[in-house]
Amino acid sequence: MQAARPERIGFIGLGIMGRSMALNLMRRGFHVTVWNRTRARMEPLLAAGARGASSPKEAAREADVVITIVTDSPDVEQVILGPEGVIEGARPGTVVIDMSTISPAVTRRIAAQLAERGIDMLDAPVTGGDVGAREGTLSIMVGGKAEVLERCRPVLEAMGRTIVHMGDHGMGQLCKLCNQVIVALNLLAMSEGLAFAAKAGVDLEKMLAVVRAGAAGSWALDNLAPRVLRGDYRPGFMVRLQQKDLRLALDAAGQMNLPLPGTSLVHQLLASVEAYGGGDDGTQALVQVLERLGNVRIGPHSKEVERWAMEGSTPTG
């Protein structure tokens, strides 16, 4: 007999991604109880009809499925296994779906501890950015038991369009790290293309219009390059989170003796964004490193351009 569609969702972590994902669940008719460490971030969800919980434990108590999307491995451990954590409130049969990007090894450890209490876990990290979260078009890569994924598929379908079972616990996270390697190099490709165009005096808008439609097209060109041209460095995905993911990818690659020279380079270049105080900026801020390296102006309001303007020197390009 097929298990009933899970109806009650506990949702933990209402950051850039989580708040849109929780709203999409509510739009599909799920009963959502939210918890966020900073309570003020719960307000828009409560106004939209969600119930509020005072702890992850309370968010889990009535839930069929508990979703977590917080920052890093220790944060997921804390909200699931820590004091007042999900594990204290969840009943046997509850499914915990962690949609954060974290260490595959930590994921396997959390899954094992939950299993001792009869609680199933899926690692289900996502890609598609803030835009995909808002539009409910995320790609979701899933690790854990296939039958648990099938039970939870309607929940994931409220947030994403492409949902693929990758294998056992941790395989979703490993797939996400593949994604991050590719994303990082697309970001560098976009940044170098824009720097080259700016220095050569090519019209950036026209270049993007024609290049996006051809073999060089990418998510970065469609979604991030227009932000650069507007001088918009607000985060869809923060530099410090990209750095966390590249550290995870480089660690895993190191354990396999697999060189990832391009990924290492992007990691080093983004360290320069952090050194200039841009860790909370969006990853499109990588173009600012190329502006500094090449003495070229790309976006209209990058911090570096503002500094040049204050110092009275004129960047070329």
Which residues sit at the interface with ligand NAP, rule CB under 6 A? 13-18, 36-38, 41, 69-71, 75, 78-79, 100-101, 126-127, 129-130, 236-237, 241, 245
Min dist CB 16 to ligand NAP, Å, is 4
Nearest approach in angstroms of CB 79 to ligand NAP is: 5
CB of 135 or CB of 150, closer to ligand NAP: 135
CB of 68 to ligand NAP, least distance (A): 9
CA neighbor of 97 nearest in space, from 57, 38, 33, 149: 149
Q: How far is the CB of 265 from ligand NAP (least distance, A)?
A: 20
The residues annotated with a catalytic role in the active site are 176
Smaller CB separation from ligand NAP, 101 or 288: 101
Burial class (CB in 10 A: 0-12, 13-18, 19+), 233: buried
Instruction: Please name the residue that has the structure tokens 């997921």.
Output: 76
Residue appearing with tokens 């460095």: 233
What distance lies between CA 7 and its chain's CA centroid?
25
**Closer CB to ligand NAP, residue 134 or residue 303?**
134
Q: Which is nearer to ligand NAP, 126 or 296 (CB)?
A: 126
**Identity at 190, one-letter amino acid code:** M
Rounded CA-CA distance 157/25 in Å is: 9
- Helix (H, G, I), strand (E, B), or coil: what is residue 115? helix
SS3 at position 12: strand
Residue 121: phi, psi to the nearest 5? -130, 145
